[in-house]
Amino acid sequence: MSRIRSHRLGLLVLVLVVLVAACGGGDDEVDTGTGAGDATEVPEHPEGSTMAEIQEAGTITVGTKFDQRLFGQTNPRTGEVEGFDVEIAKLIVEAIGPDVEIEFVETPSAIRETAIQEGTVQMVVATYTINDARKEKIDFAGPYYVAGQDIMVPTGNPLDIGGLDDLNGKRVCSVSGSTPLQNVRTNAPGAEVTEFDVYTKCADAMRDGRVDAVTTDNVILLGLVEQYGAEVFEVVGDPFTTEPYGIGIPKGDDQFRTFINDRLEEIYANGEWTEAFKRTVGAVTDEIPEPPPVDRY
Ligand code: GLU
């Protein structure tokens, strides 16, 4: 009997030890005041900060794409928008407050800065390249991913397009207000350019034979290949630009930017970034990249 009792006592002690370890913070948990902390707890934010305001309101508007497979695309079955950008937004917002609801707002490339400046959205996570021209109007946290511009053609590559130079003299489609569009106009001035507001319209135009090539970030093109079929489109050549994706926020809100950057570092370290990547972009690649270092400019 006594042996059984001591066994039980041993078990009880073990359970208690496990419980204490699970509840208590580790020695390495330092509250910096701006850190996101454990997303399941209700965090305390500095008074008057954007995070405190959002927590108080219980809701946030987030701009994203609604037609970009892998990053932000509406699932017709559920009506919910899905993808890596959506996952990143959710991971950030859950650190502002676990009960904060996100209202996703469609923000095609050309309206992203305006949507932030006018307050239509409080944050944009939308395959949004960080660059100096945009930084004059808004600020960026991140980057949280690095893409590169590439070219998609009809499968079989009938016009033998291999790179940016080959776009001269061809009918090329990209999206208004995007960096790839600007790059084609500058570096392949002989291209006959068609612009739409979203990339699926470019893909439709190429499927119907109205354009010869579509150019934008490699991962967006891979999403289109997945969506339309590898027998319809293929991506050619290697990426020829660097497109670091940032989270757009209103200019000058350094506290909010620091909070998001801290949270990004947290999800890099705890594996949630990698899991989010695998669940989304992982559908088309086995290569799981390392998250890029955030730029606290
Ligand atoms: N990353 C590029 C940009 O921000 C192209 C993708 C997009 O248009 O969203 O302009």
Output the 3-class SS for 241-293: CCEEEEEEEECCCHHHHHHHHHHHHHHHHCCHHHHHHHHCHHHCCCCCCCCCC
d(CA 230, CA 210): 19
Q: Under DSSP, is residue 207 helix (H, G, I), strand (E, B) or coil?
A: helix
The pLDDT, as a whole number, for residue 40 is 61
CB atoms within 10 A of CB 170: 19
252 assigned to some structural domain = yes
Report the nearest-CA residue for atom 10 of ligand 1.
Answer: 178
Q: What is the mean pLDDT of each run of 10 residues along the chain (297 residues)?
A: 40 42 42 48 91 97 98 97 98 97 98 98 98 98 98 98 97 98 97 98 98 98 97 96 98 98 98 98 93 96
Locate the ligand 1 atom nearest the alpha carbon of residue 243 and give its number: 1
d(CA 197, CA 110): 7
Pocket test of ligand 1: the residue of 116, 174, 178 to mutate, having most ligand atoms within 8 Å of its CB, is 178
* CA distances, 255 to each of 147, 151, 242 (Å): 27, 38, 27
Is-contact 267 261, C-beta < 8 A? no
Supply the range of the domain harboring residue 133.
Answer: 50-146+244-283
What residues are in contact with ligand 1 under a 6 Å CB criterion?
A: 109, 126-129, 175, 178-180, 216-217, 220, 243
Both 230 and 83 in one domain: the answer is: no
Both 171 and 207 in one domain: the answer is: yes
Supply the CATH number for residue 100's domain. 3.40.190.10
The pLDDT, as a whole number, for residue 42 is 82
The pLDDT, as a whole number, for residue 16 is 39
The pLDDT, as a whole number, for residue 43 is 87
d(CA 66, CA 258): 27
Both 249 and 266 in one domain: the answer is: yes
